[in-house]
Chains A and B, each alone.
Chain A
Amino acid sequence: MNSGMAQRIPEGPVASGGMAERPDVGKLSVRGVGKIYDPEGAAVVAVENCDVEVEAGDFVAIVGPSGCGKSTLMNAIAGFDTITSGEIILDGVPLATPELAPRPGPDRVVVFQHGALFPWKTVLENVTYGPMVQGKLSGDEAHTRAMNLLGECGGLDRVADTYPPQLSSGMQRRVEIVRALMNDPSILLLDEPFRAMDTVSKTTMHRHLLQMYRVCRRTIIFITHDLEEAVFLADKVMIMTSRPGTIKKSLDVTLSRPRSTDMLTSEEFRELKLQLSATVHEEAKKAFARGEREQA
């Protein structure tokens, strides 16, 4: 019996209005982080002097135009790429410095923009992949836990034996989030996960994500270019400038949880959006003027 895991994920549905206990891991500090590509040649400054402070269990959104370096920052936090200045610290342990190469790991699992569920594995095989490959759970344990979690996240247990390409993109994304959560990560990184979806699907996904956040509270870093999405979902919204990327503005979202869609038309929401949009539009114009190509 994995007591460590049981603490994190309550067995049944959470009582309405109540949040799961605030986790004690997932405090992230990004200080003065910079990334220069090809430092001895073309020296492209992708990210410069980024500062991000995230408390354990917070939902933080990073908003910025295409090509502003938000993916670079995410790659650095996730451990896919090195940094050339500054430091990244997770729960007091340095993750990355210019001398310390970060390594990806199940404490910071990523949900990718275009979806990275393995198409050659079923939903169940995908979801149980992490714990099994790390040797943390046996086949049966993983199976049970997976089915439970899939069920809690909107009845996904029904599609446990289907292959990802047969699912809608919304379901695929949700399965990918479940796959990430199965590893009990300290941080969940979502890289523009709903970017390619239509409005209706997006709204459904927001609902599901917030539900999952209620069920398994943990630090979430959510990258997006959609300001409204960011304000609706997050506790804290950060605006990132275009190259060189840096955090230009940071705003705490004062809307109460659980969030509901009628908040979208509230005065409070509009006010928050207003404070942020001016900055966002300014940066977008700058990027456009420079002829930044839209990332695929």
Chain B
Amino acid sequence: MSAVEEDVKTVPPAGRATGRALRPRRLGRFLPSWRATSSVVAFFVLWDLMVRWELGGFAHISSPLAVATAFVDGYLASADYWMSWWASFQRVLYGFVAAQLLGIPLGLLLGTRPLLNGLFYPVIEMLRPIPPLAWVPLSILFWPTTELSIVFITFIGAFFIIVINVHDSVRSIKNEHLWLARSMGASPTRIFLRVIIPSVIPSIAVGMTLGIAVTWNVVIAAEMIASDSGLGRLTWEGYVSHTGPVVIIGMISIGLAGYLSTLVVDIVEKKMMPWRKGH
């Protein structure tokens, strides 16, 4: 009637490696794949070729080698260069941090108080589409120093992003969670600290990541328009003074600076959300 098969023989504990030595392959995981490197290499080769052959606008651009040499010769050791870094970083720092310090509480406030939300959120939504850089003239008019006006623009860029992210996140907290807390006798303060704040942390992280990218864009553009220091200014001056390599050095420096900032924000995020296993 029933076909009973042999009970399974003892097998090695499931899921364990069959004892093969760990190959150096592990290291390989940290290096970019050969495909990725090949496309990057191809990019540089193409760039160099197009400069050599003076194809179209490339006649005005410096080759990768020229950029590298100019950098090592004139900039790596130059105090002015690193001062530009610092000048830009400062503005990013102040503007970004101010945006978080003001934006997060405002987002929480608007998200939790329906009256204030109905009153003020539409105004925020109305102001949001205005590009941050369009605020430059008003900012220059208003603030006594150029420095402050640039920091203000930086602030604007990140501010709206974080307010909206936090606000939307608070609003989307499931009512069930709030009801549950209340039915268990939690006071409004306790609900706020133990239910609402933890729920919005991921959206704060998102807001920060988006905000830092916008902030860098805004800073360098503001510097190009209105300042006399910083990496944006450096790049622009390279263009104005017809110094080919500088334009590209500036660009790469800005990219690097932006990348480093993103790393810093990532670290902060990981601290905020220790339960996330990394995505």
Q: Interface of A with B (CB < 8 Å)?
A: 40-45, 48, 51, 241-244, 246-252, 254, 275, 290
Q: A48-B11, A251-B3 are in contact. List 10 more A-B contacts (CB 8 A).
A: A42-B17, A43-B17, A44-B15, A45-B11, A45-B12, A45-B14, A244-B14, A246-B11, A250-B5, A290-B15
Given A40-B23, A41-B23, A41-B25: A247 touches B14 (CB 8 Å cut-off): no
Q: Is B7's beta carbon under 8 Å from chain A?
A: yes
A272–chain B nearest beta-carbon distance, Å: 9
Q: Looking across the interface, which residue of chain A has its beta carbon closest to that of B14? A: A243
Number of interface residues of B (CB under 8 A): 17
Residues of chain B lying within 8 A (CB to CB) of residue A40: 20, 23, 25
Q: Looking across the interface, which residue of chain B has its beta carbon closest to that of A69? A: B14
**In the bound complex, CA of A242 to CA of B14 (Å):** 8
The answer to whether A249 and B17 have CB atoms under 8 Å apart is no
**In the bound complex, CA of A41 to CA of B22 (Å):** 7
Q: Interface of B with A (CB < 8 Å)?
A: 1-5, 7-8, 11-15, 17-18, 20, 23, 25
The answer to whether B5 and A248 have CB atoms under 8 Å apart is yes
**In the bound complex, CA of A282 to CA of B10 (Å):** 14
Q: Lowest 6 A-B CB distances belong to which pairs?
A: A243-B14, A43-B18, A251-B2, A250-B3, A42-B17, A43-B17
Residues of chain A lying within 8 A (CB to CB) of residue B7: 248
The answer to whether B8 and A246 have CB atoms under 8 Å apart is yes
Most chain B CB inside 10 Å of its own CB: which residue of A40, A242, A244: A244
**In the bound complex, CA of A42 to CA of B15 (Å):** 9
**In the bound complex, CA of A44 to CA of B3 (Å):** 29
The answer to whether A243 and B15 have CB atoms under 8 Å apart is yes
The answer to whether B5 and A252 have CB atoms under 8 Å apart is no
**In the bound complex, CA of A40 to CA of B17 (Å):** 10
Given A40-B20, A41-B25: A249 touches B14 (CB 8 Å cut-off): no
Residues of chain B lying within 8 A (CB to CB) of residue A242: 14
Residues of chain A lying within 8 A (CB to CB) of residue B23: 40-41
Given A242-B14, A244-B14: A43 touches B20 (CB 8 Å cut-off): yes
Residues of chain B lying within 8 A (CB to CB) of residue A41: 17, 20, 23, 25
**In the bound complex, CA of A244 to CA of B14 (Å):** 5
**In the bound complex, CA of A144 to CA of B267 (Å):** 59
B169–chain A nearest beta-carbon distance, Å: 24
User: Which residue of A43, A247, A275 is within 8 Å of B5 (Cβ)?
Assistant: A247
Residues of chain B lying within 8 A (CB to CB) of residue A43: 17-18, 20
**In the bound complex, CA of A242 to CA of B7 (Å):** 13
A68–chain B nearest beta-carbon distance, Å: 9
Q: Looking across the interface, which residue of chain A has its beta carbon closest to that of B7? A: A248
Q: Looking across the interface, which residue of chain B has its beta carbon closest to that of A42? A: B17
The answer to whether B13 and A241 have CB atoms under 8 Å apart is no
The answer to whether A290 and B13 have CB atoms under 8 Å apart is yes
The answer to whether A244 and B4 have CB atoms under 8 Å apart is no
**In the bound complex, CA of A176 to CA of B2 (Å):** 33
B52–chain A nearest beta-carbon distance, Å: 44
User: Which residue of B11, B14, B20 is within 8 Å of A290 (Cβ)?
Assistant: B14
**In the bound complex, CA of A190 to CA of B255 (Å):** 51
B21–chain A nearest beta-carbon distance, Å: 11
**In the bound complex, CA of A247 to CA of B25 (Å):** 34
